[in-house]
Amino acid sequence: MRSLWKGAISFGLITIPVKLYSAVQEKNLKFHLLHDEDHGRIKYQRTCSKCGKEVGWGDIVKGYEYSKDHYVTFSDDELAALDVDSIRAIDVVSFVPLTDIDPIYFNKSYYVAPEEAGLKAYRLLAMALAAEGQVGVAKVALRDKEHLATVRLKDDVFVLETMYWPDEIRAPEFEELSKSTNVRDAELKMARQLIQQLSSEFKPDEFQDEYRQQLENLVDKKVEGEEITISEAPDEPPRVVDLMEALKASVAEAKQKKESVAGLADEEETASAEASA
């Protein structure tokens, strides 16, 4: 993997030289826009709205619009010279339990790997964090923006999770939620039973991106020249009229699926035991 950023983890008077790597790789199929007549790629040009000329990257500067059509511009050197500790380091300012942080704050994940000179300090911080069961709250500047972030341990590697600032989280103001409704005890009991039937351990490997798989299959068929038949869209599911009846049916269906999965697991375990006997 290619590192995206090079700096250090700093907390107290400790500095650990590290490199940052993207922790995820999105697997979306990328479509290009083409001219339908000859399949030529559609290109977008950088043009000036005043003179209409095409502008190269070397002639582009960053500008902030402080009033309508009035800008102040900045060079890369001016922005790099800003005296903020987080530009050069993942500046850990405190340690908190991970459960104290609402997941709505989390944005992107990065792996934080040590430079050879910082390996001992890296391992020391990892052991201390694991023993305390906490995560570091930090500030770091990436791509011209300072981020709030957490530093946590996952499989002996630090993961940096950038976060939104509190003033970036929108307040949930919805008029519908101010209206009162009457939820019966029996309905609540049945809803809890449904949750109990669907409760399990989180096993991410059991989930697959079915839309991407079908899209890849469609691409393969197109490449092979197969004719694609378009089926009619399925009818919309009927609207729930009786909430209680819908809950009962859902609980029964979930229970049946759970028993079916348990039975299949028992069969596989028995077959495995017989094979090894």
Residue type, 131: A
Q: Are 84 and 131 in contact (CB under 8 A)?
A: no
Boundary-marking domain end, from 136, 168, 200: 168
User: pLDDT at position 226, please?
Assistant: 82
User: pLDDT at position 240, please?
Assistant: 56
pLDDT tens-digit map of 19-72: 989 888 877 788 888 888 888 898 888 899 888 888 988 888 888 888 888 888
User: pLDDT at position 81, please?
Assistant: 67
Clarify whether residues 90 and 162 are in a common domain.
yes
Phi, psi at 189, each rounded to 5°: -60, -45
Q: Are 135 and 95 in contact (CB under 8 A)?
A: yes
Residue type, 96: V
Give me the residues of the chain with pLDDT under 50, please. none
CA angle at residue 115 from 111 to 118, to 5 degrees? Answer: 110
3-class SS of residue 93? strand
Clarify whether residues 86 and 162 are in a common domain.
yes
Kindly report the CATH number assigned to the domain that includes residue 110: 2.40.290.10
Boundary-marking domain end, from 116, 148, 168: 168
Clarify whether residues 94 and 117 are in a common domain.
yes
Residue 217 backbone class (left: φ over 0; alpha: ψ -120 to 50; beta: rest): alpha
Domain that holds residue 206: 180-231+238-276
Clarify whether residues 186 and 257 are in a common domain.
yes
Task: Give the count of alpha carbons within 13 A of 53, CB side only.
Answer: 6
Examine residue 136 and state whether it is found in any structural domain, yes or no.
yes
Query: What does the DSSP assignment read for 232-252?
Result: PPPPPPPPPS-HHHHHHHHHH
In b/e form, how buried is each residue of 26-41, taking b as 16+ CB within 10 angstroms?
A: eeeeeeeeeeeeeeee
Distance in angstroms (rounded) separating the CA atoms of residues 71 and 75:
13
- Look at residues 29, 22, 23, 32 and name the one whose alpha carbon lies nearest to residue 209: 29
Clarify whether residues 145 and 11 are in a common domain.
yes
- Count of domains observed in the chain: 2
- Look at residues 86, 96, 83, 91 and name the one whose alpha carbon lies nearest to residue 9: 91
- Show the tokens assigned to 77: 């050197």
Distance in angstroms (rounded) separating the CA atoms of residues 195 and 251:
9
Clarify whether residues 123 and 17 are in a common domain.
yes
Clarify whether residues 92 and 132 are in a common domain.
yes
Boundary-marking domain end, from 168, 190, 215: 168
Clarify whether residues 16 and 133 are in a common domain.
yes
Clarify whether residues 245 and 265 are in a common domain.
yes
User: pLDDT at position 151, please?
Assistant: 95
Residue type, 185: D
Distance in angstroms (rounded) separating the CA atoms of residues 151 and 135:
6
Examine residue 196 and state whether it is found in any structural domain, yes or no.
yes
Q: Are 160 and 110 in contact (CB under 8 A)?
A: yes
Examine residue 58 and state whether it is found in any structural domain, yes or no.
no
Distance in angstroms (rounded) separating the CA atoms of residues 50 and 52:
6
